[in-house]
Amino acid sequence: MTTTTTEPNPTEFEGGIVLETNGLTKKFGALTAVDDVSLEIESGTINSIIGPNGAGKTTLFNLFTGKHEPTSGSIKFRGVDIGGRKPHEIVADGIVRSYQITNFFSELTTLENVRLATQARQTGFRPTDFVRHHGSVQEPIDEARRVLERVHLGDVAQRRAANLSYGQRRHLEIAISLAADPDLLLMDEPTAGMSPEETRETVELITEIAEDVTLVLIEHDMEIVMDISDRIAVMNMGSLLARGTPEEIQQDDRVQEAYLGGGDRD
Ligand SMILES: Nc1ncnc2c1ncn2[C@@H]1O[C@H](COP(=O)(O)OP(=O)(O)OP(=O)(O)O)[C@@H](O)[C@H]1O
Ligand SMILES: [Mg+2]
């Protein structure tokens, strides 16, 4: 990744903490969807957010991406307060959310879709890059090919997106997110609606991606959560109920009562 002057200085990282919230709160009228959440995400880790429907998981993501402004509290990304920044500014900073909705052009090829995402970043967010890349169409294509290899779609680079399988389309969405060159990738239910085989492939892909990118997932499948997470955050009615390793979370009595149903998992 090339470093430009518009990016926060990586030396501002505090102890490997990439994202930090303090007292983060979001109210919708009388409803407190996210309630006084203080949370640290360590660089290079896979983090899962779990909790029952309506717990505030997606709202927390929407605060991270700038879709919602905090009612109170702060969010720091790489040591810089990002509360109140616009969504496109936060993407340029390096927080990217992968959408499970179809946000690609189905008439274009897999490669063209990723190339567009690469170019959008270069032209939209890094004007100096645009000047440098002007006249060179090869480089975004090369970068797009590299991203497609990372998500195992190299073989279908020339296939129209409309003709990809469901699992491949979801991988294309991940590729489009990676084309934005994130430091922190947010995925809301990345395996939702997938077959067991597609789920297995996607979980494998997620662990590969995590070698370069810090991940935060919202995931309902407890087997996946316990398997791939370094750290888990449990939300309940807007609050952070518990935070810890999979072992710690499985042994936490409050979590057992509120969420895992009280019984033994094994
Ligand atoms: N834009 C909004 N306006 C008003 N209320 C909202 C808005 N977004 C979310 N809420 C409410 O905030 C609460 C938390 O919702 P959120 O979508 O964050 O939960 P969640 O944990 O992602 O749930 P799920 O597991 O069902 O996806 C819910 O009561 C929801 O109805
Ligand atoms: Mg949700």
Query: What's the pLDDT tens digit per position in 166-213?
Result: 999 999 999 999 999 999 999 999 998 899 999 999 999 999 999 999
Among all bound ligands, the one having the nearest atom to the CA of 239 is 1
Residues 177 and 189 in one domain: no
Ligand 1 mean position, distance from CA 86 (Å)? 21
- Nearest residue to 94 via CA among 18, 22, 39: 18
Contact 234, 255 (CB under 8 A): yes
Residues 172 and 194 in one domain: no
Over residues 122-169, the pLDDT tens digits come to 665 444 444 444 445 568 889 999 999 999 999 999 999 999 999 999
Q: State the Cα–Cα distance between residues 16 and 43, nearest whole angstrom.
A: 5
Taken in order 127, 102, 56, 200, the sign of the CA dihedral is negative
pLDDT value of residue 190: 92
Confidence of residue 266 (pLDDT cuts 50, 70, 90): very low
Instruction: Give the position, in ligand 1's atom list, of the atom nearest the Cα of 51.
Output: 21
Query: For residue 64, is pLDDT > 80?
Result: yes
Residues 112 and 170 in one domain: yes
Residues 79 and 208 in one domain: yes
Q: State the Cα–Cα distance between residues 263 and 169, nearest whole angstrom.
A: 37
Residues 90 and 194 in one domain: yes
Residues 146 and 212 in one domain: no
The domain total for the chain is: 2
Q: 188 pairs with which residues across the strands?
A: 218
Segment 216-237 shows an average pLDDT of 95
Q: State the Cα–Cα distance between residues 43 and 69, nearest whole angstrom.
A: 24
Over residues 74-131, the pLDDT tens digits come to 999 999 999 989 999 999 999 999 976 667 899 999 999 999 988 877 665 444 444 4
pLDDT value of residue 124: 53
Ligand 2 mean position, distance from CA 55 (Å)? 8
Residues 163 and 187 in one domain: no
Ligand 1 pocket, residue 57 CB under 6 Å: yes
Q: State the Cα–Cα distance between residues 35 and 23, nearest whole angstrom.
A: 8
Query: Which among 181, 203, 233 is the end of a domain?
Result: 181
Ligand 1 mean position, distance from CA 239 (Å)? 13
Cβ neighbours of residue 223 closer than 8 Å, sequence gap 6 or more: none
Q: Which domain holds residue 109?
A: 103-181
Query: Which among 181, 206, 221 is the end of a domain?
Result: 181
Contact 215, 187 (CB under 8 A): yes
Q: Ligand 1: which of 24, 27, 31, 259 to mutate, judged by most atoms within 8 Å of the beta carbon?
A: 31
Examine residue 265 and state whether it is found in any structural domain, yes or no.
yes
pLDDT value of residue 208: 96
Ligand 2 mean position, distance from CA 49 (Å)? 10
Confidence of residue 256 (pLDDT cuts 50, 70, 90): confident
pLDDT value of residue 101: 62
Query: Which among 119, 148, 181 is the end of a domain?
Result: 181
Q: State the Cα–Cα distance between residues 102 and 81, nearest whole angstrom.
A: 31
Query: Which CATH number covers residue 45?
Result: 3.40.50.300
Examine residue 5 and state whether it is found in any structural domain, yes or no.
no
Over residues 3-54, the pLDDT tens digits come to 444 444 444 444 599 999 999 999 999 999 999 999 999 999 999 999 999 9
